[in-house]
A and B are shown apart, each in its own frame.
Chain A
């Protein structure tokens, strides 16, 4: 029985609020000191963990089966992280979107497919050779537009921009999706390999990015292959924030951050688990009572055990005694 001095108001609503945002349920119950403790401790630990993991520690992936060349990933740790509530819940939605994307690729789409028309800023490199014109090789930036041509697997597009030394440039893009002449990074992913593999030396370090998406397309003129353009286009925030990671990205993160990434996971796990205590406190009140109960000499065994548990040093002992008393 909850102490009558504690006004839990609507306990179910308070528990839901406490889950969604640590401390919110207790603020609703006007237990402001506890609200401060829960929000500062839980969110502090959670966001510190996110920072240690460079915002990639919280993600959810639940594969029903292994994909080609990849292990079946099931991030059980997210089941602890989700205890933090709203800050971690987007990962659940991203998992659903990620799965839909993968299933559409597996069923009737081809790798490098255009799932939507692309019209965005582009930075990268160009290797362009055209008869009768000087060779252009190097950094370019501009706007790239690619869309379905309307017939089978063909696509068309344009690149309008300039070279590094300011010369304007306009290219026509045309090709077939099945021929590998267009390669795009995943539309939804937390981290992606955006290494420009076609135009760089073999010794270059791998480059990963969450907010950039790899884009490779061959530059053609009717049937003549005139070169290639390779770089990155922006990936919107909602397509990479807390989105699932593939094996390669996880290996990259572990290699780059080492123990720091494991610390990030532990911090976010513990933050989520701690908030479960807060949710229960909002729903049922404090486990051992108000804290100022007087010992009753002539009471039954139950009361004396409760008093002893309040004086116990170790929480484990207190937990055991409270369990026995109930």
Chain B
């Protein structure tokens, strides 16, 4: 169990790098779709939450599946 938490902690360090990447992708993608500033920011925020939420979900599923390994 302890080793499992250690692995999780190590993985989390790397996973923080996804946040700026997801933020940049969201902003650039949304900016290339629309012209209105407010709409760009709103859509970028929503896309950022979608990406990070999806990745967090996959992370939790994989973590649960590997809990007893």
Contact = CB atoms under 8 A, between A and B. Distances in A.
Query: Do A and B come together as binding partners?
Result: yes
Contact of A286 (B17, B23, B35): B35
By secondary structure, the A interface counts as helix
Interface in A275-326: 277-278, 280-281, 285-292, 313-315, 318
A274 B47 CA distance: 15
B36 A37 contact: no
A313 B40 CA distance: 13
A286 B24 contact: no
Given A292-B36, A313-B46, A315-B47, A34 B24 contact: no
Given A38-B28, A277-B28, A314-B50, A45 B21 contact: yes
B29 interface: yes
Contact of B29 (A266, A291, A315): A315
A314 B33 CA distance: 13
Contacts of A31: 35
Contacts of B66: none
A3 interface: yes
B35 A6 contact: yes
Contacts of B36: 290-292
Given A263-B17, A291-B39, A313-B50, A281 B25 contact: no
Interface residues of A, number: 36
Interface of A: 3, 5-6, 31, 33-34, 37-38, 41-42, 44-45, 48, 259, 263, 266-267, 270-271, 274, 277-278, 280-281, 285-292, 313-315, 318
Given A48-B20, A315-B47, A41 B34 contact: no
Nearest to A48: B20
Contacts of B68: none
B39 A277 contact: no
Contacts, number: 79
A71 B29 CA distance: 37
Given A33-B37, A274-B25, A313-B46, A286 B20 contact: no
A289 B34 contact: yes
Interface in B9-45: 14, 17, 20-21, 23-25, 27-29, 31-37, 39-40
Contacts of A37: 27-28, 31, 40
A42 B24 contact: yes
Q: What 9 A-B pairs are tightest by C-beta distance, nearest first?
A: A291-B36, A291-B34, A41-B24, A277-B32, A291-B39, A281-B32, A274-B28, A290-B35, A288-B33
B37 A286 contact: no
Nearest to A271: B24
Nearest to B24: A41
Given A37-B31, A277-B29, A290-B35, A263 B14 contact: yes
Given A33-B37, A315-B47, 8 more contacts: A5-B35, A37-B31, A41-B23, A267-B17, A278-B32, A290-B35, A292-B36, A313-B50
Contacts of A290: 34-36
